[in-house]
């Protein structure tokens, strides 16, 4: 848990949710291990020696690394979860030390794992190709949706106002493709719903992305774009439900928590047809080419203006999201543990 415990989203949500679901099972006894002291030297020492000592003290039969950080010496079988290969697909989105780790240190550790879990079929295919994994040793196990997003709220009866609100959930790193959304908003006819729409961005402070601050200003969108910063997880369901459309034109994803959470909240989704998003979202979202500004604009305008389409997306989205549970994820993961241990 050394790195997942420090991450409010992504691998952190996965690790904490999986541990909680495992603790509800009578057939798995879970012990968490972590480096207690932050800082690179302490973390490296932990990976080199401390983790294995803690494993021996715990008398564990199997180690699960729920992110791509794996101790260098492990005396028992271990399982690794891989989220994506974005460090290779979009290296500029990541600091140099993570790129170095993923390129040179992770592959041999992944190949040494008893089994590897991929969170989507796309990630599974990428990992087989990039890491030279035996396809029989890597399995896809989809993630779950936090139950806080699955409420009785019914967005089908809420029509967009004269100035609809779009939600862009997550930090606007390059692969998230915020440029498409901004270009579409600026190019939309002033009397259209998209032309009057505002945009909320979660997951980052504006100071971290000065290029986008300038881009928003140059497009004349400063009054229509609001940065919400790092929204706490317990507030995200409310933020999701208040939006008229969740826009997620990402170029590359390992799974895609935010659009699935939006669907669970009863908010229609317009997303990219690239990467794993068709696999995860199915036909419960409008999927568009992430390079097609006109196609994206038409999709958003249609969702905002067509009641029947909104109804279909809301109902289909809630049904789709409800199939992704942490209980199912934990059950499939426990089955994998038993397969590794042959018990």
89-123 per-position pLDDT tens digit: 999 998 898 898 899 989 999 999 999 999 999 99
Quick one: 165 and 305 in the same domain? yes
Phi/psi for 198 (5° steps) reads -105, 165
What pLDDT band is residue 25 in, cutting at 50, 70 and 90? very high
Query: In terms of domains, do 184 and 296 share one?
Result: yes
**133 and 264 both lie in a single domain:** no
Domain housing 273? 147-322
Tell me how many domains the chain contains: 2
Residue 156 in this model has a pLDDT that exceeds 70: no
> Are both 220 and 233 inside the same structural domain?
yes
User: Across the beta sheet with 225-229, what order do the strands follow?
Assistant: 225-229, 198-202, 165-168, 245-248, 269-272, 286-288
Clarify whether residues 261 and 167 are in a common domain: yes
Provide Rg for the chain, Cα atoms: 21
Average pLDDT over residues 233-241: 93
Residue 146 burial (CB < 10 Å; 0-12/13-18/19+)?
Answer: middle
Which residues are 78's β-sheet partners?
A: 63
Q: Percent of the chain, pLDDT > 90?
A: 83
Q: Which long-range contacts (CB under 8 A, 24 or more apart) does 55-59 make?
A: 58/31, 58/33
48 and 124 belong to one structural domain: yes
Closest alpha carbon to 66 in 14, 139, 126, 31: 14
CA distance 112 to 314: 44
Do residue 278 and residue 237 come from a single domain?
Answer: yes
For residue 22, the domain's CATH number is 3.40.50.2000
pLDDT at residue 343 in the model: 63
pLDDT at 68 (0 to 100): 80
What is the per-residue pLDDT across 49-100, written as a single tens digit (0 to 9) for each?
A: 889 999 999 999 999 999 888 998 899 999 999 999 999 999 999 889 889 8
169 phi-psi bin (left φ>0, alpha ψ -120 to 50, beta other): beta
Q: What angle do CA 61, 67, 69 make, to 5 degrees?
A: 85
Q: Are residues 134 and 153 in the same domain?
A: no
Do residues 294 and 198 both lie within one domain? yes
What confidence tens digit (pLDDT) does each residue in 134-152 have? Answer: 999 999 999 999 999 987 6
The Cα 18–Cα 138 span in angstroms is 18
Say whether both 192 and 224 belong to one domain: yes
Confidence of residue 154 (pLDDT cuts 50, 70, 90): low
104 and 206 together in one domain = no
Choose between 101 and 332: higher pLDDT.
332
Tens digit of each residue's pLDDT (9 = 90 or more) over 296-324:
999 999 999 999 999 999 999 999 999 99
Q: Rounded distance, CA 317 to CA 243, Å?
A: 15
If asked whether residues 122 and 156 sit together in one domain, one would say no
pLDDT (0 to 100) of residue 202? 95
């Amino acid at each position: 848990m050394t790195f997942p415990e420090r991450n409010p989203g992504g691998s952190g949500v996965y690790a904490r949710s999986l541990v909680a679901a495992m603790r509800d099972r009578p057939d798995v006894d879970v012990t968490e291990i972590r480096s207690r002291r932050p800082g690179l030297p302490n973390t490296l020492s932990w990976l080199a020696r401390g983790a294995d000592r803690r494993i021996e003290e715990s008398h564990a039969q199997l180690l699960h690394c729920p992110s791509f950080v794996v101790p260098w010496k492990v005396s028992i079988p271990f399982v690794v979860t891989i989220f994506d290969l974005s460090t290779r697909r979009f290296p500029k989105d990541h600091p140099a030390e993570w790129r170095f780790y993923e390129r040179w240190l992770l592959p041999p550790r992944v190949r040494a794992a008893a089994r590897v879990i991929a969170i989507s079929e796309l990630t599974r295919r990428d990992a087989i190709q990039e890491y030279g994994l035996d396809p029989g040793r890597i399995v896809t196990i989809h993630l779950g949706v936090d139950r806080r997003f699955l409420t009785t709220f019914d967005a089908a009866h809420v029509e967009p106002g004269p100035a609809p609100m779009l939600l862009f959930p997550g930090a606007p790193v390059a692969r998230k493709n915020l440029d498409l959304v901004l270009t579409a908003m600026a190019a939309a006819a002033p009397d259209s719903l998209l032309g009057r729409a505002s945009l909320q961005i979660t997951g980052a402070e504006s100071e971290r992305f000065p290029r986008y601050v300038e881009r928003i200003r140059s497009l004349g969108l400063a009054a229509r774009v609001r940065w919400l910063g790092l929204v706490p997880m317990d507030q995200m369901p409310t933020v999701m439900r208040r939006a008229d459309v969740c826009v997620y034109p990402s170029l590359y994803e390992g799974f895609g928590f935010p659009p699935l959470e939006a669907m669970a909240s009863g908010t229609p989704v317009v997303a990219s047809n690239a990467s794993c998003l068709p696999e995860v979202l199915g036909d419960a979202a409008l999927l568009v080419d992430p390079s097609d500004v006109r196609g994206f604009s038409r999709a958003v305008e249609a969702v905002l203006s067509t009641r029947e389409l909104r109804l279909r997306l809301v109902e289909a989205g809630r049904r789709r999201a409800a199939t992704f549970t942490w209980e199912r994820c934990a059950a499939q993961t426990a089955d994998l543990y038993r397969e590794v241990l042959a018990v």
